Structure 1
Amino acid sequence: MTPKQIAAFAVGPIGGAVLSLISLPIITWFFSQEDVGRMAMLQVTLGFSILLFSLGLDQSYVREFHEADSKPALLKRAMLPGLMLLAAVVLILLSLGGKLAGWLFGVPAWHLSGVVALALVASYISRFLSLVLRMNERGLAFSMSQLLPKFLLLVIIGGYVAVGADKDLTNLVWANTAAIAFVCLVYGWNTRREWLAAFRTRIDTGQLKNMLRFGLPLILGGLAFWGLTATDKVFLRSLTNFEELGVYSVAVSFAGAASILQSVFSTVWAPTVYKWANAGTGLENVHRVSRYILALVILGFALAGLLSWVVTLFLPANYSGVRWILVSCIAYPLLYTLSETTVVGIGISRRSSFAMLAAVIAFSVNLIGNWWLIPIFGASGAAVSTCVSFWVFFFLRTEFSIYLWKPMPRVLLYAFTLCCVAGAVVHTLTGEKLQGVMMTFWLVILASCGIAFRAEFLEVVRFIGRRVGSKS
């Protein structure tokens, strides 16, 4: 991709993160801590439904896109089976009345179950339509589809505040669902040519079987990955209370600023690598890209450790623990992004069972860690468990990729990430008592990053200089 195309894809994650950082403090001031925690359970459920009902065919769509003769037919094969299954499950859940809302929110209301069902269907459709924009490298349309729902959520919450609407769970769920449904409509409009053409195609059962053969092993891996990212919230929901879950979910949301790197990179990286693999060229750049991302990951950990206190300026006093939890929470987006640069061998070799195994093992680590640490440390224990688990996930993906593909230099990868994870754990559990020590630690990490990656930083500065010079 050209720098212009990458910039187009970056608009959505960056703008969405900014809007989220604006709306999040507003939500914490005007809605109860318990309801903020309940929204975390909604997000967990949406992620679970997409991973389960996609049947791994979303990954098959990405993998087969550049080799498919008919892109609309490929979309139909990938999207329709899971959509039919999801529709059947949603109807069954709605027949149970308010059970779904009771399971998620502790409030067994039928109208809340209906709203959640709408969010489930809209999220699933949006997942596949977003892949159409992503794989066709329509960066600006992809970004606007991400940006507009965040803006709509902010407008709705602002409207609640302006008119003095009830700051209750129903209105908060409706605000989130309206934003999700809106993005689905935007995706539908932007991809109308593709899905309208897909209606006129027939499903080739032989090709569908091949896609399922690649995708089905990813179901278990996908569920394990969902568990890796959601176990903390589920355990907090069952072992503590919605208040503790609310504090944790706010820390995760602030850590979502680091997901800008994850979103932009993942959006650009997967299509680019598979295009290189299909052409048989460009794969020598994988190690170089890995070094750049590692530098950004170290920088992200260090800045979070040094500046996490800033978030307390925008939150109510009962969210003071967010500043200590935040540093461990950013491990998910940062280490996941780094693992995307080292895991390419699994995708190229089509040995998706190894990706599944990495997720299952890391999920098991997180399961044990949450069971052990949450009763002792609450939200801090959940953050630490997830942080360590994602390092295990990154390590396994890297080693499996090397086993299936070819070696890559990884001393710096493991040394720096282990230091950052260890620092994050100490910061989360004892940072309030060791503030001076932790500030010194993160400054040392920052300086070490500058020394180890000075060539990369200088190259970025020269690149920016050339771009500025060419425009002037």
Structure 2
Amino acid sequence: MHNDLVRIAKSSSIVFVGRIVGLFLGLVLNLFAARYLGAEAYGRFMLVYTIVSFISIFMKLGLDQGIIAFIPKEKDQKKSNSIIIFAFGASLLISTIMTLLLLGFSKIIAVELLNDAEIFSILIYMSPFIILLSLIDLFRGVYRSKSDITNFVLMQNYFIPSFKILIFICLYFLGYTINGLIVAFYISTLLAIGYFINSILKNIKIRYIFTKENVSNFKEVLKFSAPLILIGGMNFVITKSDVLMIGYYLNSQDVGVYSIAVKIGTLSSFILVAFNTMFAPVITRLYSNKEIKEIKGLYTTITKWSLLGNLIIFSIIISFSQEIMILFGDEFLIGSTALILVAIGQLVNSAVGPASYINTMTGKPLFELYISIVTACLNILLNVTLIPIYGIEGAAIASLLAIALSNLIKLILVYGRLKIHPYNVEYIKVILAFVISTCLVIALKNSFHEVAILQLIMLLSIYFVSFILIYGINGISSEDKMILSSLLKKIKRK
């Protein structure tokens, strides 16, 4: 387990640092967009972007996960290349067709379903973005399959958000508001795709693809990937159907407020994503060698660190929810309760760790499909019931309950099949540090008449110091030291 943990820690630290930078830049972009456009216009953009993102999940045909599962096992480079080209060709074809369909139905969606004619033009402009999102996800799959995520992270988390910010601000001051934001998304994403094509696809020869043997491989990849199409779609419904239903039942302003709450409340997802990025290919190899004990050890360490990081961010959110939301404008303050509820859902997700990847990469993708269908249906039902009554808080509660159920089922299935779970006595230290530090900060905050910048810095400093002292009082495990060492080395190199 030691070598795998070192490899995952080093690679994940790249993703970890990249995700932190990307999330920070993403927050800056959303801060500018929300403040400059206002909750209503920002909400319209986010509603359309959610629709486009939802469609793009189906257009990649689950092949991003198929690439991750098959490329690490394939020793023949020509066969690996043929799988990659097949995935891109199939996704490009189907996403182009769907783009044309969305263009044709844009007016019906805007006027009849969402009751907002202003959304029509945004839908027209953003429909082709389906193709770009599908391609980006496939490139991510290729980099992950080769355990070479650095270049993708640099582009995805540094280059793309930086250019979005610069282009949007420039265009905004030239008089372009929401159209400036759309152009910023297109230019930055197209430049990134150009880079990925040059670095990955330039040396792959298409004439070697359609052999009889390769076609047989394509069928095998599709057989594996097909259930993952619905899994991706259902997972999106679990996490994003609330945005679509707020647009249907409420209005664009509520969509804008809730979108900001979701973006902040799910900030901590980068921790689990960072580990999952490199853990998925490792699972495939370990399981094929029947090294279940190794999988359990990695599962325990990754889940504990994911939970630890999420608890720290969750503490900050529950302590300063109103102060955080008002940064985006006074009209966003009403989303502070929804923010806390969304953060609780993310905390539940982190406490289960990479259970879904373990199920998928050990040959049971259908388990994930069934779980996703059940929880997606539950989420829709809860949203339909709660949003008309409780507004955006109802949407947050619906998502929280759906996420909790989904993760509980995944955890039970992993234990039932492999007899492993991620929990041990080390988790007591994590929870104890969280409870004591959070209570201390909330008590100190309530003693102030108001929280200014200096008080905020002081409270955050007290929180981090107390958390570290309480967590480390009983000693730090060798796995903790290994991950910390890899992360610190990577940060120093930056």
**TM-score for the superposition, normalised by structure 2:** 0.79
1:251 is the counterpart of 2:261: yes
Q: For the residues of structure 2 that align with 1:467 and 1:218, how far apart are their CA atoms?
A: 32
Distance 1:288 1:14, change over 3 A: closer
Q: Retained in 2: the 8 A contact 1:12–1:142? A: no
Could you say which residue in structure 1 is the equivalent of 2:336? 323
**Could you tell me which residue of structure 2 aligns to residue 178 of structure 1?**
187
Displacement, 1:328? 1.9
| d(CA) in 2 for partners of 1:214, 1:136 | 19
Secondary structure of 1:343's aligned partner: helix
User: Which region of structure 1 is more displaced relative to structure 2, 64-73 or 199-208?
Assistant: 199-208
User: For 1:294 and 1:275, how far apart are their aligned partners in 2?
Assistant: 25
Which residue of 2 is the match for residue 350 of structure 1?
A: 363
Matched with 2:130 is 120
Is the aligned partner of 1:274 residue 2:284? yes
Within the candidate set 386, 391, 409, 1:373 is matched to: 386
Distance 2:15 2:52 in 1: 23
Residues in 1 aligned to 2:285 and 2:186: alpha-carbon distance in whole angstroms? 35
Structure 1 unmatched ranges of 5 or more: 420-430, 437-442
Query: Does structure 1 residue 215 correspond to structure 2 residue 219?
Result: no
Asked if the contact 2:306–2:353 (Cα under 8 Å) also holds between the matched residues in 1, the reply is no
Match of 2:323?
A: 310
Corresponding residue number in structure 2 for 1:155: 166
Where does residue 197 of structure 1 map in the other structure? Answer: 205
Instruction: Tell me the secondary structure at the aligned position of residue 222 of structure 1.
Output: helix
- Report the equivalent of 1:238: 248
Q: Deviations over 1:375-415 (max 9, x none)?
A: 12211111121112111111011112222222426598999
1:21 aligns with 2:33: no
Query: What's the counterpart of residue 65 of structure 2?
Result: 59
Deviation at 1:364, TM superposition (A): 2.1
Following superposition, the deviation at residue 244 of structure 1 comes to 0.8
Displacement of 1:107 in angstroms is: 3.5
Q: Do the aligned partners of 1:98 and 1:108 also contact (CA within 8 Å) in 2?
A: no
Q: Residues 394 and 449 of structure 1: is their aligned pair in 2 closer, same or farther, counting only changes over 3 Å? A: farther
Q: Does 1:9 align with 2:19?
A: no
CA contact under 8 A between 2:54 and 2:236: conserved in structure 1? yes
8 Å CA contact 2:9–2:487 kept in 1: the answer is no
Q: Secondary structure at the match of 1:41?
A: helix
Query: How much does 1:294 deviate?
Result: 2.8
Counterpart AA for 1:283: I
1:291/1:453 Cα in 2 relative to 1: closer, same or farther (>3 Å)? farther
Instruction: Work out whether 1:143 is the aligned partner of 2:153.
Output: yes
Contact 1:295 1:449 in 2 (8 A): no
Query: Per-residue displacement from partner, 1:130-155 (whole Å, max 9, x unpaired)?
Result: 22222222232111111211011100
Q: Is the 8 A contact 1:294 1:338 kept in 2?
A: yes
Q: 1:357 to 1:339 in 2, by over 3 A?
A: farther
Partner of 2:268, secondary structure, is helix
Are residues 93 and 372 of structure 1, via their aligned partners in 2, closer, same or farther at CA, if it must alter by over 3 Å? closer
Q: Secondary structure at the match of 1:257?
A: coil
Distance 1:266 1:82 in 2: 24
SS where residue 404 of structure 1 aligns? helix
Deviation at 1:119, TM superposition (A): 0.9
2: CA distance, partners of 1:467 / 1:122:
32
Does 1:460 pair with 2:480? yes
Partners of 1:49 and 1:120 within 8 A in 2:
yes
- 1:201 to partner: Cα distance: 2.0
Number of aligned residues: 445
Aligned-pair CA distance for 1:297: 3.2
**8 Å Cα contact 1:236-1:379 kept in structure 2:** yes
1:124-182 CA-to-partner distances (Å, cap 9, x unmatched) read 1111112222222223211111121101110012213433x132x33332222333333
Structure 2 gap ranges (5+): 1-6, 433-441, 448-462
Corresponding residue for 2:95?
Answer: 86
Amino acid at match of 2:37: F
Q: 1:457 to 1:375 in 2, by over 3 A?
A: farther
Distance 1:311 1:191, change over 3 A: same
DSSP-derived class of the 1:320 partner = helix
